[in-house]
Amino acid sequence: MVVKPILKYLLLLIISTAYKSVAVGINKDPVIRSVTPISNKTWENWNGAIDISPNAIFEPSTLQDLIDIVKLAKKNNKTIRCAAQGHTVSSLSVTDHYLVIVNNLNKSIVQNHPKYGWTVTAEAGMSLSELDLALRTHNPPLTLNSETVYDSFRVSGVIAVGAHGAKPSSGIMSDQLYSLKIVTDSGEVREFNEEINESEFNAAKVNLGLLGIIYSVTFRVQPMYNLIMNDNYVSIKEWLNANNIKQLLNSSDGIELLYWPFNGFNQSDPNHFDPNKDLVWVKNWVRTDKQVNITQKQLEQLRKTEREGMILQYQLLSGLLKNPEETPNITSSIWEDLISSGNKSLVLEAPDAFHYVPAEESLKLDLLEFGFKVDPDFSNVVTEFLYAIQTLYDFAKQGKFPVNYIIDLRIIKSTKALLSTTFDNDSEALYCQLDFETAYRTPSWEEFGILMAKRYFDKYKAKPHWAKEWEFIPNVTSYLSNVLSDQIKQFELVRAKYDPDKIFFDNKSLQEIFNIALGSKK
């Protein structure tokens, strides 16, 4: 009889085929349950500064996916870094091993907490615009207390790096958290909040991806409210002083000063490089019971017009990469168009006021930001804002134009989040955040950035924003290991507990900073 051998052969064939169907591997390693990498092997961040080809890229859509990815990484001796929308321009998302893109994790739920009132839990990949919509359409309508300017950022990204808005009472967005859940080294889901363990919560609130993969974050939210958003264009020479800034801050929910380079430039003026002729854009928000004074349709049209204007501006600024000497002519012309409608005031719902600039992904910029503690009399805020402007003019006299977009100043409250650039034991301390933006790859940008960093580091022990550019600054890792030494030592106790195998500790810059601070050679 030949039946048995044939049946045996068919059985082996079926088993072999079934095994192959589930053994789609990464470097021939078996897939665990739902984990399958996407076919794309390369990833690029928003401005193109980071372009990597990791071992595998995953786009999970469930919590189980995250758990399985961590288990697979442990099995295959791989490390993990995460990314969302890709707005981080430092190397935090860079890895040769597994890159996890969390954008498909985008669900949310609103609940009424017995202690904190209304809360919203959002999965890691939910954008702020999606979160705003979920809160706005809830009954009753709700809102966060402060947010970043751009609403395209994902919630896990703004938490992991300590991103912030312009509202002093709220500080960084992480300070609005009630809790967050992270898939750690063991593949377990750990919840961090101040009731479970306050010190671990302060580590998790700005974790740089070092504790695991953020699965969800839970914010404390409040009933929707309106803000008056004022935009005034004032003389730097006449208005910019410590007393005016302090008074404005004390009478507002938040303030922002924006400087457009060389906006007072006039080619026909013999003394055309004079910062005293410039204006500064003073923006402030005031909470109000007044009704919104612009319809949704009008707001959508306004955002559309603003977006079109931003694209046109960027095209002009990009042209300066080959002709930087034209910077004053171009930037002053753009400025004249910006202020042509004069000072203005709008009453908006809070999220619309927070996100006053439409998110336009086609604008590719270099970004640099430093935070330093505000003096009680606010004198150093004015000194450093004016110094930054004067430095642009000093560069211009040498034929160099390193910033062609904006210099932006915001003042926010300190935080207890250990790795935040605004960490302070004084809970009432204020920090000045100076932000520089220019068209991507503008000549002399790094030279300018290094000069500004040296000043702020030497004078204030200032710290750069983790998500923006800082790694080109000479000796920056040794500097940060020193100024963050105490916080790193506290953070490391938590990191070592939840990632003892260093699956998530896959970033050369952070490794250098931690190793120096901890006295380790590895």
For the chain, first and last CA: distance in Å? 67
Query: How far apart (Å, rounded) are the C-alpha atoms in residues 454 and 232?
Result: 32
Asked if 395 contacts 448 with a C-beta cutoff of 8 angstroms, the reply is yes
Question: What mean pLDDT do residues 354-370 have?
Answer: 93
Place 38 in a pLDDT band, splitting at 50, 70 and 90.
confident
Question: What mean pLDDT do residues 99-114 have?
Answer: 96
Residue type, 507: N
Place 521 in a pLDDT band, splitting at 50, 70 and 90.
low
pLDDT surpassing 80 at residue 1: no
- Predicted TM-score of the model (pTM): 0.92
Phi (first) and psi of residue 297, to 5 degrees: -65, -40
Judge whether 115 lies within some domain.
Answer: no
Question: What mean pLDDT do residues 121-125 have?
Answer: 98
The secondary structure of residue 56, as a DSSP letter, is E
What pLDDT, on a 0 to 100 scale, did the predictor assign at position 378? 98
Distance of CA 186 to the CA centre of its chain: 28
Judge whether 62 lies within some domain.
Answer: no
Judge whether 194 lies within some domain.
Answer: no
Percent of the chain whose predicted confidence (pLDDT) is above 90: 87
What pLDDT, on a 0 to 100 scale, did the predictor assign at position 93? 96
What pLDDT, on a 0 to 100 scale, did the predictor assign at position 4? 44
Residue type, 338: L
Tens digits of residue pLDDT in 11-20: 444 334 433 3
Judge whether 316 lies within some domain.
Answer: yes
Judge whether 339 lies within some domain.
Answer: yes
Half-sphere exposure of 71 (CA within 13 A, CB side): 16
* Of 46, 45, 25, the residue nearest 36 (C-alpha): 25
Judge whether 177 lies within some domain.
Answer: no
Asked if 142 contacts 113 with a C-beta cutoff of 8 angstroms, the reply is no
Residue 351 belongs to domain spanning:
226-474
The total domain count for the chain is 1
Question: What mean pLDDT do residues 254-267 have?
Answer: 95
Return the SS3 of 338. Answer: helix
Phi (first) and psi of residue 340, to 5 degrees: -60, -30
Judge whether 6 lies within some domain.
Answer: no
Place 330 in a pLDDT band, splitting at 50, 70 and 90.
very high
What pLDDT, on a 0 to 100 scale, did the predictor assign at position 20? 36
Mean pLDDT, the chain, rounded, equals 92
Asked if 86 contacts 44 with a C-beta cutoff of 8 angstroms, the reply is yes
Asked if 99 contacts 73 with a C-beta cutoff of 8 angstroms, the reply is no
Query: How far apart (Å, rounded) are the C-alpha atoms in residues 207 and 453?
Result: 23
Question: What mean pLDDT do residues 159-173 have?
Answer: 95
Residues paired with residue 211 on neighbouring β-strands, in sequence order: none
Q: Peptide bond preceding 275: is omega within 30 degrees of 0, i.e. cis?
A: no
What pLDDT, on a 0 to 100 scale, did the predictor assign at position 268? 82
Residues paired with residue 108 on neighbouring β-strands, in sequence order: 122
CATH of the domain at 312: 3.40.462.10
* Of 7, 31, 4, 36, the residue nearest 20 (C-alpha): 31
> For the purposes of burial, counting CB atoms within 10 Å of the CB of 77, is it exposed (0-12), middle (13-18) or buried (19 or more)?
exposed
Residue type, 87: H
Q: Which residue has the tokens 């190793």?
A: 515
Tens digits of residue pLDDT in 388-439: 999 999 999 999 999 999 999 999 999 999 999 999 999 999 999 999 999 9
